[in-house]
Amino acid sequence: MTLKRNPGDNTIESTDASVKLVGVTGTQLGIIQQVHVVDSAVATGVTSISFTDSIPTITQGIEFMTLAITPTNSNNILIIDTLVHIAHSGGGTGIIAAIFNTDVDATNALAVGAQNNGSPDNIQQIPVRHRQIAGTTSSTTFRVRAGGSAGATTTFNGSNAGRLFGGTITSFITITEYQV
């Protein structure tokens, strides 16, 4: 079987008549642009994020990464993917990573990921994903803040306030703009 994209009307056709294509006809989302930042630097802080049934706010946690994008169309879709490596010196606490954009919401997180830190300084990998309509054609900055649920030391890209693996542990933000 061969699949062929018809660029004239952006449909997909199959050379095998017995194959039914579902959800692939009509206008398809296409990637317009993608911006990416990778950070391997170790950083620390002690500002906590509540591990409760409340939305984290911009004053909680430590800002470890930022990335800006200028959408080409305010109706397009933005997908923000982050991966954060953090450790917390308090054992048995929650460790949290959150995406913020003060252009969208002045105080509240847009998306949150969390892990339980079973042992002190146990490094965790926390992915967070957020999807939104761009809403602007001006530059907009997304921020990643992270911290433990207790006021002990949070280490970004390392453990126990130091780096691991020669600095090859990396965290990132990727923002992809999709055409609607």
What is residue 92's predicted lDDT score, i.e. its pLDDT?
83
**Burial of 85 (C-beta count, 10 Å sphere; 0-12/13-18/19+):** buried
Q: Tell me the pLDDT of the chain averaged across its residues.
A: 88
Cα separation, 153 vs 164, in Å, equals 16
pTM of the model: 0.82
What are phi and psi for residue 5, nearest 5 degrees?
-95, 130
Residue 55: is its pLDDT beyond 90? yes
The model's confidence at residue 16, banded by pLDDT at 50, 70 and 90, is low
CB 105 within 8 A of CB 145: no
The partner residues of 112 in beta bridges, in order of sequence, read: 98
CA max distance for the chain? 63
**Burial of 2 (C-beta count, 10 Å sphere; 0-12/13-18/19+):** exposed
Residue 9: is its pLDDT beyond 90? no
CATH of domain 29-179: 2.60.120.1340
CB 100 within 8 A of CB 131: no
Domain map of the chain by residue range?
29-179
- Any idea which of 17-31, 98-112, 130-144, 157-171 has the lowest mean pLDDT? 17-31
Q: Could you report the per-residue pLDDT of 56-97, keeping only the tens digit for each?
A: 999 999 999 999 999 999 999 999 999 999 999 988 889 999
Q: How far is CA 18 from CA 4, 11, 14, 21, 89, in A?
A: 15, 17, 9, 10, 59
Query: Residue 109: in which H helix or E strand, if any?
Result: none
